[in-house]
Structures are given as structure tokens and as C-alpha cells.
């Protein structure tokens, strides 16, 4: 009875061993095309675009555009309520008119000085004549010295009055001219400040995004929307740090977009960012379509393969048949091989085996 149990146990153990034991899988190297590529995520953006900001804070009073509108450079997009700015313009204008009136209008200060100066010059001319006559009489022994000194004093006082009024005229003219210029500058400054409340487009394009509506408040830090080019689009790729050394300008890219899942489009790399995004550990790479869909939209996403190298007639084996130390398992044991290109599912073998070699999947 005991012996029977042992035999039965031996049978069960052997059965379990044979059931778990896997038959080795064999393949031979084959000649086939292979492509080595770097994977990247893709995002479609307009070639040129900018985010709209306001230079001033306030409340949106008018919104003159909608998402999807075709925009021309200089076109007004928003108007922001600007009561204070309009008051500044009005005050500057009134100040300018007041100064201009003092300079050139009916209340011309310079004309008043001119009239006084004209009277002072006539008095100076008269006092000068009287002084000359008195000096001539004094030479003839007529008149007194006091009369002569009085004529001299009257002449000198008249001369000082003329000089004073001439200086006053020049000084007033300079002051009014400067005040007029300053006032004009104040008007221009107020008008320029008022322009901050009228937001215009800086480029021709399409309004892709609109973030604010009438009645909402804005600040210079808040984006109001996004305008981009109408027909020219670029591809932004995010490439891992480990792969960036393989990327060069002009490399071919194959792209599959979510919106066109059954199509593959070709592109070329046009720009490689020199700085890594340390948070994502990726580099930004830009590309342009060689051929593109008939319609593109901002924000389309997809996957891209940057072609590092491709070969038409390479000797390849399934990648899973290559060990980590670059050896393969054959019927004669492990053999070291030299590898070439590597794709997601196969690897090129340069030397070490040939197409007649029978390979076994290595035990992992």
C-alpha cells in the first residue's frame, strides 16, 4: 500500500513538471527593412501666434470679435471702460486752450506787455529829447543844475522801465511757449494712455481663443485670447532627455494625428530648443509638415516617430531573442553578436550569426 502511494506520487510530480515545462521557441534571422526611431508626443500650433493682453486694468465695455473670426492687424478687439482717462484728456485739452489763449487769443498776456512797452518807449523818447535840450541850455549857461539832474533822472527811469518791460516780454514769451509745449505733451500723453483702453490686433490671423466677455474685469496679467496665423502651422514635439542626443535638424518625422488616425504624415525637424524642461525632463522640438492634412486646427494632438536611421535589407531578429548582454541562444549555446539598428520589436544583427542560425528565445 505504501509502495503504491510512492509510485502515484512520483507520477503526479512528473506530470506537473511536464505540464509546466515550455517547449523552446526557435526562429531564424531574416532579411527585412528596419527603422530606428525616437518616439515623441505631438501638438499642432499656428506658426505665428500671440496672446492678447491689456495694458490697463478695467471693465470690458465692448467686445468686437468672436472666436473663429479672421482678424486684420490694427483691428479693434476690445474696448475697456476708461472714464478717468477721458477726464484726463479733457482736462489736458482745457489747460492747453487756456495757455493758447494767453499766448495768442483775446486774453493775450504778451499784447498787454507790448502796449505797456510801446508807452514806455514813447516816454523814453520824450525824456531823451528833454534831456538833450536841457544839456544844450546848460552849455549856454541857461537853466540850473537841479533841472539838468532832474532830466537825467527822468531819462534813466524811463530807460529802466523799457528794459524791464523788454525782459518781461521775453520771459513771458518763453514761459508761455514752454507751457504750451508741456500742455500739448500732456494731451498726447493722455491720448496715448487712452489708447491702452482700446486693444488692437498685432497681426493678421484667426482668433483661436477668447477668454473674456463684456462686463468682466481685466488686468495686464490676464490673457484675453489668442490670435494665430491662418494657414501656416508648426508641430511641437516633446522628446525625452534620453533621446535628444539622437535628434538633428532636418530629420524625417512620421506623424499620426488623433483626428486623422488612419493616415501618416511626413514632416521635418526645423528647431531644437537648447534648454530642457526640468520638470518634465523633455526638450521642445519643432517641425514643419512636408505633407499635411487638408484642414488643421490649433491643439490637434498625436504621436510622432523621429526617424534616426533606416535600412531596406537588414538581417534582423525579434528583439525578444536578444539578451541584455548582446548575446543570442543557439542550439550550440550562447553567441555574442554585434547589433545595428533597433526598433520597438526587432534588432539588426551585423555579425556573429547568419540567416541559417537557429535561435532560441532566452530564458528571462
Torsion of CA 235, 239, 244, 247, to 10 degrees: -30
The confidence score (pLDDT) of residue 90 equals 67
Instruction: Determine the average pLDDT of the residues in 118-134.
Output: 91
Percent of the chain with pLDDT over 90: 44
- Our separate counts of H helices and E strands in the chain read 4, 20
Q: Which of 19-28, 78-87, 138-147, 293-302 has the highest mean pLDDT?
A: 293-302
Place of cell 537841479: 146
- Mean pLDDT estimate for the chain: 83
Cα distance between residue 332 and residue 113, in whole Å: 121
Instruction: Determine the average pLDDT of the residues in 214-223.
Output: 90
The confidence score (pLDDT) of residue 85 equals 55
In this predicted structure, the answer to whether residue 14 has a pLDDT above a threshold of 50 is no
Torsion of CA 198, 202, 203, 205, to 10 degrees: -50
Instruction: Determine the average pLDDT of the residues in 187-213.
Output: 80
The confidence score (pLDDT) of residue 123 equals 92
Q: Which of 14-18, 102-106, 173-177, 338-342 has the highest mean pLDDT?
A: 338-342
The confidence score (pLDDT) of residue 101 equals 65
Condensed to tens digits (0 to 9), the pLDDT of residues 254-286 reads 999 999 988 999 999 999 999 999 999 999 999
Q: How is residue 352 annotated by DSSP? A: S
The confidence score (pLDDT) of residue 79 equals 87
Instruction: Determine the average pLDDT of the residues in 189-195.
Output: 61
Place of cell 500671440: 50
The confidence score (pLDDT) of residue 10 equals 32
Cα distance between residue 272 and residue 290, in whole Å: 18
Alpha helices in the chain (DSSP H): 2-20, 83-104, 109-139, 145-195
Cα distance between residue 77 and residue 63, in whole Å: 6
In this predicted structure, the answer to whether residue 41 has a pLDDT above a threshold of 50 is yes
For residues 38 and 223, the answer to whether their CB atoms sit within 8 Å is: no
The confidence score (pLDDT) of residue 19 equals 41
Close Cβ partners of 352 (under 8 Å, ≥ 6 residues apart): 328, 335, 336, 337, 338
Q: Which of 13-27, 96-110, 157-171, 283-297 has the lowest mean pLDDT?
A: 13-27
pLDDT band at 59 (very low <50, low <70, confident <90, very high): confident
The confidence score (pLDDT) of residue 237 equals 95
Amino acid at each position: 500500500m505504501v509502495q503504491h502511494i510512492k509510485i502515484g506520487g512520483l507520477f503526479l510530480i512528473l506530470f506537473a513538471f511536464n505540464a509546466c515545462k515550455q517547449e523552446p521557441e526557435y526562429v531564424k534571422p531574416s532579411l527585412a527593412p528596419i527603422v530606428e526611431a525616437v518616439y515623441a508626443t505631438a501638438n499642432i500650433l499656428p506658426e505665428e501666434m500671440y496672446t492678447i493682453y491689456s495694458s490697463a486694468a478695467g471693465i470690458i465695455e465692448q467686445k468686437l470679435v468672436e472666436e473663429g473670426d479672421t482678424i486684420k492687424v490694427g483691428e479693434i478687439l476690445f474696448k475697456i471702460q476708461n472714464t478717468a482717462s477721458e477726464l484726463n484728456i479733457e482736462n489736458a485739452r482745457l489747460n492747453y486752450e487756456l495757455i493758447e489763449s494767453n499766448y495768442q487769443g483775446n486774453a493775450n498776456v504778451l499784447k498787454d506787455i507790448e502796449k505797456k512797452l510801446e508807452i514806455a518807449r514813447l516816454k523814453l523818447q520824450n525824456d531823451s529829447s528833454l534831456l538833450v535840450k536841457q544839456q544844450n541850455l546848460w552849455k549856454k549857461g541857461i537853466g540850473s543844475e537841479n533841472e539838468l539832474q532832474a532830466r537825467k533822472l527822468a531819462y534813466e527811469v524811463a530807460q529802466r522801465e523799457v528794459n524791464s518791460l523788454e525782459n518781461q516780454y521775453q520771459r513771458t514769451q518763453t514761459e508761455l511757449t514752454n507751457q504750451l509745449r508741456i500742455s500739448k505733451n500732456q494731451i498726447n500723453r493722455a491720448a496715448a494712455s487712452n489708447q491702452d483702453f482700446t486693444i488692437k490686433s498685432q497681426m493678421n490671423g484667426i482668433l483661436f481663443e477668447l477668454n473674456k466677455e463684456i462686463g468682466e474685469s481685466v488686468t495686464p496679467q490676464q490673457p484675453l485670447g489668442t490670435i494665430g496665423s491662418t494657414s501656416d502651422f508648426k508641430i511641437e514635439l516633446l522628446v525625452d532627455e534620453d533621446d535628444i542626443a539622437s535628434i538633428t535638424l532636418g530629420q524625417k518625422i512620421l506623424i499620426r494625428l488623433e483626428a486623422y488616425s488612419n493616415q501618416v504624415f511626413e514632416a521635418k525637424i526645423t528647431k531644437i530648443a537648447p534648454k530642457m524642461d526640468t520638470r518634465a525632463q523633455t526638450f521642445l522640438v519643432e517641425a514643419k509638415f512636408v505633407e499635411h492634412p487638408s484642414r488643421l486646427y490649433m491643439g490637434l494632438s498625436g504621436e510622432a516617430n523621429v526617424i534616426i536611421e533606416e535600412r531596406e535589407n537588414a538581417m534582423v531578429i525579434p528583439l525578444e531573442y536578444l539578451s541584455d548582454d548582446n548575446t543570442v541562444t543557439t542550439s550550440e549555446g550562447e553567441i555574442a553578436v554585434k547589433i545595428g539598428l533597433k526598433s520597438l520589436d526587432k534588432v539588426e544583427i551585423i555579425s556573429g550569426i547568419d540567416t541559417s542560425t537557429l535561435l532560441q528565445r532566452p530564458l528571462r
